[in-house]
Chain A
Amino acid sequence: MVKDQEFLKSKASYCLDLAKKMGATDASVTVGHSISETVNFRNKSLEASDRSDGLALSIETYLGKRRSSISSSNLLDENIKTLIEKCFETTKITPEDEFNSLPDKNLLAKQISSLNLYDETRFENDKKIKYLKDLEESASSNNQIINTESSFTENKSNFILANSDGFCDGYKTSSFTTSCVTVAKDENSMERDYEFSSKRHLSDIKQAIDLGNKAAKQTIRKLSPKKIGSEKISIIFDKRISKGMLSVFASAISASAIARGTSFLKDKIGEQVFADSINVIDKPDIIKGMGSQNFDAEGVNSNTLQLIENGILKNYLVDTYNGKKLNLQSNGRSGGTTNLYFEKGNISHEDLMKKNSRSLYITETIGHGSNLVTGDYSVGATGFWLKTENLNILLMK
């Protein structure tokens, strides 16, 4: 069982009391506990099981405008005491930084509404095994599939965030994640693709058979790829690409990159940075959302942010420290984005695919080709020529 709030609260207040007693002017502490169980399958039989049980503690101590931090997985009181002593000693000799401070009290989250992020259902390993059996059975039903690997992970977590301004809150979350990677082979090639499902509640997880089918289908269609020549061409990005693109965008509008002047989106608030049909939203209060949160990593209330409105950049992602540097109020994004998405437009997937006589449909990219300073983007890509034949790999930029 994941540790309860009382246990975590008692550890958190022990840390805060100790830090104060040693002379810290302020302190904040996060204590968390997480239990995960994973079952892995390969080619329709059990390959591995993995159980993890982990406690984690992190503390920041302040002496005026001096700050330093420690983290540990060892929650024995004796160890905590040694670490806080070390932390405070370090704080004393760390130079002052005028922007160091706890978050403004009036920004701290006050009312915690239930976002339904915890499902207490236990999905025993035997049931995970049954699920993965069905999944791989369906994934390997086509004889072009020569290898299947799948896994099911169940996680339960709990945490408490507390600071010396009196903030003390936290909540339980759960997640259930299953994925399947398939390898297909024909006389010309060997290709890999995948499908996954990740939810807060067990009952929302995709059916095993559907998931296996989809992974297989997506892999088989990649077989016998061809290399294409160099040219400029319109590209349709599959939904799967959005995660990579949005995470680069999120890094580029983080207050830390803006404050350091190392982002190509610095000073671009109010300017057109996307086509005017594009809206990007970060919404922390989606019920059962995988990225949902009641407050950020500093306890600051987080509201929905319209980041891009009709192509125009509206907001940065602001935490306390970098906000003070930029003269902006924290908008509860210490720790990054929550549920970040491109809002849907008004053209159907089908019509989009038919829009151009010739275009490239990209389903996967590889490489780390984003440069936040210059805004350059260059990655390897796999996809399809629309309407003609299956093609593979080349650049896009």
Chain B
Amino acid sequence: MSNFFNKSDLTRQDADKIVSETLNNCDDGELYLEESKSESIVLDDNKIKSSNYSSDLGFGFRAISNEVVAYSYSNEISKDSLKNSSENLKSTLKSIKGTYNHEIPKSNKKFYEDINPIEQKSLDSKLEVLNKVNDFLRKKDGSVKQVTASFAGEQKSIEIIRSGGEALTDVRPLIRFNVSVMLEKNGRKETGVYGIGGRQSYDDYLKNDNWKNVCEEAFRIASVNLDSKPAPAGEMKVVLGPGWPAILIHEAIGHGLEGDFNRKKTSAFHDLMGQKVASEGVTIVDDGTIDNRRGSLTIDDEGTPTERTVLIENGILKNFMQDRHNARLMKTRSTGSGRRENYRHIVLPRMRNTMMLSGNQTQDEMIKSVDKGIFAVSFGGGQVDITSGKFVFNCTEAYEINNGKIGSPIKGATLIGDGPSILKEVSMVGNDMMLDPGIGTCGKAGQGVPVGVAQPSILIDKMTVGGTKL
């Protein structure tokens, strides 16, 4: 746990006093203190390409009245610096008065340990794993032309001080191990990428030589793509595999259910609460409480304990994801979804682990039911236009389906759809829900936060596939 008050002339008493005095006439706000330590070690092109260590310390001071948010941050934690920020907030809110809401829910539950993963594994042993990965893959097959492997680790300590002196703390570990391999055969080059991670120590993820499985998976994806042929184009049926493909749900549906877009009425979902937005059998939750998951949080970045929020239940829209600010303006409660990338950024309602729950059909049944379509197993990046609801996804591993059978792998297929209508096209929900391997980062308003996704196999009756084969 970081002690933020032994670093300068700022004492806790000073901080409490400045916070309370600044937020006295505001509706909400807090002082957010953060110290993070992070490392990144990359092996690339047969060498340790970089090893970087970074330490960051700072505060963000926020005051909210009515609809106006004033924010000021600095990486100098001192009495003067905090006073300057306070003046800055007061000058923005000078003509708007509010009543401070002292209420904040409490919980004793923790979803990860207070560890510093960087210190738990020596640099030597990290370098050793990276070199093993490189040797293993290059020896495995002559087609391997490039290998990149990396470790990224972080420990972030936060403290939230609210008006009246209430303080809330959290220590958040996070690691990621990633392997990327490029193969070349008959003049064609393809890459495969796979990674694992979460809020435990490196060795929790690497035990039993698990790094080999990561290598095998990256290699398998690249091999499949070496034999891929051009993707078909047009509207067709799409079967999504379990796990990571749920990133499509995250983009297409999740963002549209974040409180801010709905308060501002810019989301295609803003007037659909209580209505049927998905096929029966479709239930989607956003859950911050799964042990050690990348998207899990003990408390969110406003201090609210996280929860399992039901967004869509059996096709009916039940809840939006809320931070305190949007919840207050929409006269509802925070769902513990207030997040920020770090102290440099304001809090926004964000996703944690977004999951579509299992139904009772099998992937086999889905494939068999499709005459002509696509089976999408893994995705690269995706993007959504919240207002029109349109989204786009690029498949990194996908296959044709012909007459109920999985056919050749296809390259570069893009899936295009429309958020509000896509879930109504779900006609089968599998019994095989799977969590992603712990690699997702969600971007919104220039802020990246770690997230998780999960889903079973699903069959979507109609989706536009962007390919070159007409």
Contact = CB atoms under 8 A, between A and B. Distances in A.
A74 B54 contact: no
B74 A53 contact: yes
Interface in A241-298: 259-262, 264
Interface in A134-157: 146-147, 149
Contacts of A55: 75-76
Given A42-B264, A260-B146, A366 B385 contact: yes
Contacts of A264: 189
B292 interface: no
B394 A368 contact: yes
B191 interface: yes
A28 B81 CA distance: 29
A69 B127 CA distance: 16
B10 interface: no
B387 A190 contact: yes
- Main SS of the interface on chain B? strand
B139 to A, nearest CB: 19
B375 interface: no
Interface stretch (A15-23, A43-51, A158-166): A43-51
Contacts of A47: 67-69
Interface stretch (B410-418, B433-441, B448-456): B410-418
B149 to A, nearest CB: 13
A72 interface: yes
B381 interface: yes
B88 A51 contact: yes
A51 B266 contact: no
B387 A51 contact: no
B268 interface: yes
A369 B123 contact: no
B102 interface: no
Contact of A395 (B48, B70, B189, B414): B414
A225 B382 CA distance: 22
A51 B72 contact: yes
B57 interface: yes
Contact of B412 (A51, A86, A262, A371): A371
Nearest to B35: A74
A357 interface: no
B92 A125 contact: yes
Interface residues of A, number: 68
A376 B411 contact: yes
B464 interface: yes
Contacts of B51: 68-69, 90, 94
Most chain B beta-carbon neighbours within 10 Å: one of A46, A55, A183? A46
Contact of B70 (A45, A49, A374): A49
B250 to A, nearest CB: 14
Interface string B45-61: 10111111111111000
Contact of B50 (A42, A69, A72): A69
Nearest to B56: A73
B53 A230 contact: no
Given A369-B392, A378-B394, A74 B470 contact: no
A88 B56 CA distance: 19
* Most chain A CB within a 10 A radius of its CB, from B81, B123, B145, B392: B392
B466 A373 contact: no
A87 interface: yes
B53 A83 contact: yes
B265 A146 contact: yes
A93 interface: yes
B216 interface: no
* Across the A-B interface, the 3 shortest Cβ-Cβ residue pairs: A395-B466, A368-B381, A367-B392
Interface of B: 7, 44-45, 47-58, 67-76, 81, 85, 88, 91-92, 123-124, 127, 145-146, 148, 182, 188-191, 233-234, 264-266, 268, 344, 346, 380-388, 390-394, 411-414, 416, 464, 466-468, 470
28 contacts: A46-B92, A48-B69, A48-B71, A51-B85, A53-B74, A53-B75, A53-B81, A72-B55, A73-B75, A74-B55, A94-B51, A95-B48, A147-B264, A192-B266, A229-B234, A261-B145, A261-B146, A262-B191, A366-B385, A366-B391, A366-B392, A367-B383, A367-B414, A373-B191, A374-B188, A380-B392, A394-B416, A395-B414
Interface of A: 42, 45-55, 68-74, 76, 79, 83, 86-87, 90, 93-95, 97, 125, 146-147, 149, 183, 189-192, 225, 227, 229-232, 259-262, 264, 325, 366-369, 371, 373-374, 376, 378-380, 382, 392-397
Given A149-B264, A190-B268, 19 more contacts: A42-B264, A48-B71, A51-B72, A53-B74, A54-B74, A70-B53, A73-B57, A83-B55, A94-B51, A190-B387, A191-B388, A232-B470, A260-B45, A260-B146, A262-B189, A367-B381, A367-B382, A395-B414, A395-B467
